[in-house]
Structure 1
């Protein structure tokens, strides 16, 4: 059985900005799911989820002490706060775009790993 979940069911996120750079940190709700998060939440999947924002580069940082992943998306804020005509120039609500992502459920991912 191929079960998918919404990332928001297993994690929460915080987003921020620096110029035209978006940072989104994702934290698991249950520490037991951190290895699953590291395996499934790849830069490729994040790039696909944010394709409409057209980031020019995405970097992922693993923060094991906090059981979190931090994604830095370059050129994802339409020029940044002072340049963008977009409604969310700071990118604060873009954490919800990431949390809406569909991923294999943790037990399903573990079974295939």
Structure 2
């Protein structure tokens, strides 16, 4: 199944760093996502654009994760040639990731 079936997401940016939150709709799905959506898998998922490390922060009480992707925005808003220089669409791209149920 795609992540979008059990979670929603938001993204933001600061310089050349993209920040993506991933929040499960039902806390019962938190552990499933925790096991399968690792920092390594997110880095691989965005391998075409993320040129730095990816850090994952866990917020189990909220049923959420925060992924901080370094070197993800082509140098930042004022330097990037990308159409979406703020990386706002990256949250939707993450929700396309498939996980096992």
Q: TM-score, normalised by structure 1?
A: 0.86
The unaligned stretches of length 5 or more in structure 1 are 106-113
Aligned counterparts of 2:4 and 2:41: Cα–Cα separation in 1: 15
Matches within 5 A, 1:1-113: 5-105=1-101
* Displacement over 2 Å in runs of 4+: none
RMSD: 0.8
Aligned length: 101
Q: TM-score, normalised by structure 2?
A: 0.96
- In structure 2, the residue corresponding to 1:66 is in which secondary structure? coil
The unaligned stretches of length 5 or more in structure 2 are none
Structure number with bigger Rg: 1
Q: Which has the higher helix share?
A: 1
